[in-house]
Structure 1
Amino acid sequence: MEDNTPTVDHHSSPYHVPVLFYETMEALEIKPEGIYVDCTFGGGGHSRGILDKLGPAGKLVAFDQDADASKNIPEDERVVFVANNFRHLQRFLRLHGFAKVDGVLADLGVSSHQFDEGERGFSTRFEGPLDMRMDQRHENTASAILKKYTEQQLHKLFEQYGEVTNSKTLAKQIVQQRNSSPLQTIAQLKALISPVVKGNPNKYLAQVFQALRIEVNDEMGALKEMLAQIPAVLKPGGRAAIITFHSLEDRLVKNFFRNGSFDEQDENPLSIEERKNDLKIITKKPIVAGTDEVKRNPRSRSAKLRVAERKGQE
């Protein structure tokens, strides 16, 4: 299918280019009077797209735990901003008087803005502290994890969240060297692990940083908690659209949409266990970025959009 999206996306901002923008707007089937949730407001690209389709009676609830995101909130009385993690989805919806909503969107990618700010510690390109906290109110930093985790914990962390090829060797190197070498900055971490870097150094470091970021922010735990709340917050016919960038995230979303749980489906034909699932899958296969979008925004290459709908009649 030909990608006819324009080369200049008027919904993008220097903060974050929204990935799979048109596909997501279409998937949500936005009603002008509906209530929608953007779980990952960021630069507000997807949110502005939703607002464009909402009428005066529509509402958008935007979540973001990163204080920087609040600078991007549009002056619009239809927007309710929640400065918190989306794992508290249902609690804050109730707090603001929304029992049920028409759609939930989450773009799990890290904002380009965060990668481009050295002092946050997300990027391998800039010097800065080994921080990586999305929410500065939390205490756990990448530096703290590297100093206190056991060799086995670090091995599992880099293997599962970073898919680092020599994760065991990497964990051993960190544990052996961390008492004699400081681990406060990005440059110090790079120097400490340089003897064990395999393959393309940029790719290797990106995988290491990804693993640390996921752990610091408990991204998998937060995603599971948010997904588990989706059937309860969606109106019948309401839709959830989730964009993932990592195979583990995608598996969680796929399994939950398909089974109503995070377990792999039991393929045993003799199994009598009947799982209740209030969601129906809209995307049999995930939607991925077209050639033009990948050219414009290389980070969209690994993006996968999955969509599910709440069963039942309004």
Structure 2
Amino acid sequence: MSSYEQTLKLFILYLKNEQEIEEPNKVKAGHIRQYVRYVQERGKYTVVRNEKSRKINWPEHRTDYQKKVSNVTINNYLRNIKVFFKWLHNEGEIQKNPLETIKQIKTVRRPKEAITEKEFKNLLEQFDYTKFHGYRNKIIVMLLQDTGMRIGECLALKVDDIDFKHKMILVTKTKGRKERYVYFSRRMLRELKHYIKFRDRYTSTKVLFPTTRNTEMSVHSFEKQLKKAGSRIGLSIHPHQLRNNFARQFLMNGGDLYTLSRILGHSSVTITESAYLDLTHEEIAKKYQNHSPLSNWKI
């Protein structure tokens, strides 16, 4: 919601200041194309929707100030704007959707780096297990790697969402608002049970991973703590990398795309296929050797 709001407010500001347009039915496809060029030329953080915020956020002091806005970011802007104008069209507020002919910019996909077993082990060792917040963060990292959940889904979990008997968790706060189950290993089963006993000494809240104030931890707060832990071992890490790493390892261990798609909560298998793009030639070769028809036939 924050992303949509930011995108639309900056776009509306552009329409008003650069095109003198304040009515959605006056927006044409040409205005959208001009806006794309405008964003490409202006650079990062050079435009703010509220000038007063400059004295609070000081964008000029950022290391990436005025640097080129990536095509991936621009495509995200276009996607957000498209959703808004599609809604306007469906509601009858505009007769024609000006974004129907607007296509996304071609981008070169950069493969995501895998987190190795050694790196993951070193990362876990950065958390102080003797303190509640350190032990909590360790278990969160392990659960993300073991289930492929999004960090927002994980932090919203309640203790009652866990089915220890069948080793699965009901995820209710999903991106598509569609409940689903994720599954965890026997190792994670032991870790979760031990953590909950430890957790119960400090809190009575139903939230599985609460803050020290017994509230639900924010995504931003965890991202910051994870980044800090990674920096101590020279590892640049974000929670979504653990989700991607789960998908990668699931495929390498013989898992199929359809099952992976269900676990990740993707709307279609085609979205999940992108996980294959991150496999290296060596990983594909290893996966092939494990599944070669001739090698598995008794001939």
When normalised by structure 2's length, the TM-score is 0.23
When normalised by structure 1's length, the TM-score is 0.22
Structure of higher CA gyration radius: 2
Between Structure 1 and Structure 2, the one with more helix by share is: 2
Between Structure 1 and Structure 2, the one with more strand by share is: 1
Q: Which has the higher contact order (CA 8 A, sep 6+)?
A: 1
